[in-house]
Copies of this chain bind each other. A is one copy, B any other.
Amino acid sequence: MFSDSTQATEAEHSCAPRSGSDRIASLTRALPPESIVEDLAAVFGLLGDPGRVRLLITLLESGEVCVHDLAAVTGQSESGISHALRLLRAHRVVVVRRSGRSAFYRLADGHVRLLLDVALSHLGHAPAARAVRTDEPSSAATEDGEALT
């Protein structure tokens, strides 16, 4: 886990020249190696497309689905689904089981469910697909979120 150091150097922080070159150095050192950062970004990037999100949620709900059905459910072309699955496969997000001329895909592990749930709770929506909690009205809209013009 990333260490939880919310104490920072804020009080003495000047942000002007010499704001804390040692603090900058230690923060820089704390960054993971670039290869890991890139892997992280790549995995998140995979989830950064509505079509792939629908695809993954479908797999989440049903366990194992073939390409043809994934296309039907998510409303995308079978070619598009195949391309998407290829990317997801390469990053071990999904695994395939082939049987005859069909290919059945499922999630490789439980991480995706967790990621989607955490992101949903960030949005303020309840993490469930159907049981969407509409309480906790719009606490999110009262904050800072200026809608990019």
A window 10-46: CB within 8 A of B = 10, 13, 15, 19-20, 23-24, 27-34, 36-46
CB distance B123 to A15 under 8 Å? Answer: no
Question: What is the interface size of chain A, counting residues whose CB is below 8 A from a CB of the partner?
Answer: 94
Interface contact A69-B23, CB-CB below 8 Å: yes
From the candidates B37, B63, B116, B120, name the one contacting A8 in the complex (CB within 8 A). Answer: B63
- Does the CB pair A92–B143 fall under 8 Å? yes
B-contact bits for A97-131, CB 8 A (1 contact / 0 none)? 00000101000110101111111111101011110
Q: Is the CB of B148 within 8 A of A61?
A: no
Task: Give CA–CA (A28, B69) in the complex, Å.
Answer: 10
How many angstroms from the CA of A65 to the CA of B5 in the assembled complex?
Answer: 12
A50 near B37: Cβ-Cβ < 8 Å: yes
Residues of B within 8 A of A52 (CB): 41
Contact of A44 among B4, B33, B44 (CB under 8 A): B44
Contact (A24, B72) CB under 8 Å given A44-B47, A118-B118, A119-B115: yes
Collect the chain B residues with CB atoms within 8 Å of residue A58's CB. 27, 30-31
Residues in B with CB closer than 8 Å to A43 are 119, 122-123
Most B CB contacts (10 A, CB to CB) among A32, A75, A91 go to: A32
Q: In this assembly, does A57 line the interface, its C-beta being within 8 Å of a C-beta of chain B?
A: yes
A84 close to chain B: CB less than 8 A: no
